[in-house]
Structure formats: structure tokens, C-alpha cells
Amino acid sequence: VLGISITLIFRRIMQIEKCSAIKLDVLKGALLTNKNGAEYRISHFEVLFEDLKSIHVVIYEPDDELGKVSIAWDAIQDWSIQFQTD
């Protein structure tokens, strides 16, 4: 999954292979943690017209949903991500 460490929170343990795929919608609301321990939530994804080959993830600090920032997906490859599924 593009080098990102993924932690799944399930009622049971699930093994994820490197060749696995998930829909981007599953990641909305997920908790991202950077190398310094700062946490952010995923709001949504976007593609900028000036760079159609790059997916951007729009993030915000958990206590500041209005302060959203767009960052290239490639820039967060060494961040961890946690998400819940039903």
C-alpha cells in the first residue's frame, strides 16, 4: 500500500498482503500519525489539475477540522494509518 504502515482495528485480526487493495473511501476519517507523533485525520482525497498524476490527501488535526491541508500521498509514505471498518 505505497509503503504506508497500516493498522486495522477490527473485532478480529486480519492479515493484509502487500498486493491488497482498498477503496479510498475506507480511509476517510482514518487517523494518520507522522514520524514525530503528530496526529491527523483524513478528510478526503483530491487530484490537482496542475498535477494530474499525483493523488493528494486532505488532512486536519483532530481538534481543528476547519484547518485542512492538502498533502501529496507520496509525502506520507512513512506515516502510519489506523482505520476502523464495520
Residue 25 DSSP code? H
pTM for this entry: 0.73
Task: Identify the band that residue 77 occupies on the pLDDT scale cut at 50, 70 and 90.
Answer: confident
Residue positions counted in the chain: 86
Q: What is the distance between the terminal CA atoms of the chain, rounded to a whole angstrom?
A: 21
Residue 79 in grid coordinates: 506515516
pLDDT in tens, 13-64: 455 666 777 788 888 999 999 999 999 999 999 999 998 999 999 999 988 8
Stronger pLDDT, 36 or 11, i.e. the higher one = 36
What's the pLDDT score for residue 18? Answer: 67
Q: Are 81 and 7 in contact (CB under 8 A)?
A: yes
Burial (CB < 10 A; 0-12, 13-18, 19+), residue 62, is exposed
